[in-house]
Structure 1
Amino acid sequence: MTGAPYLTMLLADGRLPTGAHTQSAGVEPAFGAGMALAEVPDYVTVRLRTVTEVEAAVAVVARHLWLERPPGDRTAALVELDGAWRARTVSDALRDAADLLGRSYLRLAASIWDLTELSATRRTWCRGLVVGATAAAGGLSAAETARLVAFEDVQTVLAAALKLVPFDPSQGVAWAVHAGPEVEDLVRRVAGLTSVTDLPAPSAPLIEQWGQRHRDTERRLFRA
């Protein structure tokens, strides 16, 4: 049986075949809008306090529902949870990106764990929900689930920034370390959530606006 720390590192690995490498977590459109490289740590912080917190909360609640509801009795609650995430994500460009990652993540996870209840519906699930169900099937705790989502978001931003505006890679590592306390603050905020009504609703309108514009950009390296 794979231990939780090992599994967490595996699922957070950017080399997973989930299509995550096609995403920049919005940093490409942020650069396009004039954000300076030195502002990347602030951008990471804003994401952790808004869009990433919502996604991590969805993952934590999905994990709880997957564990607490008997098989065959989860779908309605998960559909409600997915809808609640969509209501908190105004940009259809960001929703489309999360749906694409959700499909890819489910295809990968279902090859390892029994996630038939998700795949059998033949509907699209947002990425956070699929991560939560995967975390439940893999034996991760609520805190580990939230940390996985937050860590992966930080790494996605930094990896994309390095490709878009090349800089000393050690600086990216330093920024990731600097983001550690923010990640743990996010974990503390969402790890105890158990229902759809618990979901937070912070928003980042500028990030969503940039995402909308980026979708119509002809020259881009990342999908979103």
Structure 2
Amino acid sequence: MRIWMALAAMLALSGCSLTLKPVELDRAKQGQLVSAGKPIVIEEIKDARDFSKLPDSSTARIDSDYLKQLGEAGRARVIAGSPHGPVMLVAAHERTVMDETRDLLADALSERGYRVVSAADAPAGTPRMSVQVKEFWCYMPFNFGRALTWTQQMKAWVEADITITGQEGGRTIHVKGYGAHIVQTGTERNIAQAYDLAMTDFSKDLGSKLFTSM
């Protein structure tokens, strides 16, 4: 039985108590940041995700009762789950979606010859980024045909609106990444693998749009 159906059954038996399970996102910790390169500042990062719907449908992402239980701190950390709960997946080590996005951006920028510096250490004229995270989510949608053939997919989305301000003014770009792979269960490892695909796709998309915006 698929994990989300099992979790829904658990909910019926155990009430409305929410359980949080950590997921280690490898991609955000793999970057080899360069010590030299063109400086850039990553300023404010905001979590602007819409919790009222899933990335690929108008279905509610998280049941309203669970959303209340998560609170502001929990919403900042949650990265995967079923609308029916009661288990939600959060970034490991008390990290937030903003933390993961900052590391992902720093990694992608480093691969393209940039070095992220603090605002205090930035030379005059250093370009600056402000970020609104529009999507950072993973789940395994039910598909009857795929369920019959054991080819269910774990899907992940990472999207952000990034405003880059430099000496010649500012511009906002929308950067997105998507990843999916076939799974039988919704394990933390499978979630991390879907995110790895989405983050790699996000990095490529950023690279294709970056130089026209600097």
Flag whether TM exceeds 0.5 (same fold).
no
Task: Give the TM-score of the pair, scaled to structure 2.
Answer: 0.29
> TM-score, normalised to structure 1's length?
0.28
CA radius of gyration, larger in: 2
| Structure showing the higher helix proportion among its residues | 1
Question: Which structure shows the bigger proportion of residues in strand conformation?
Answer: 2
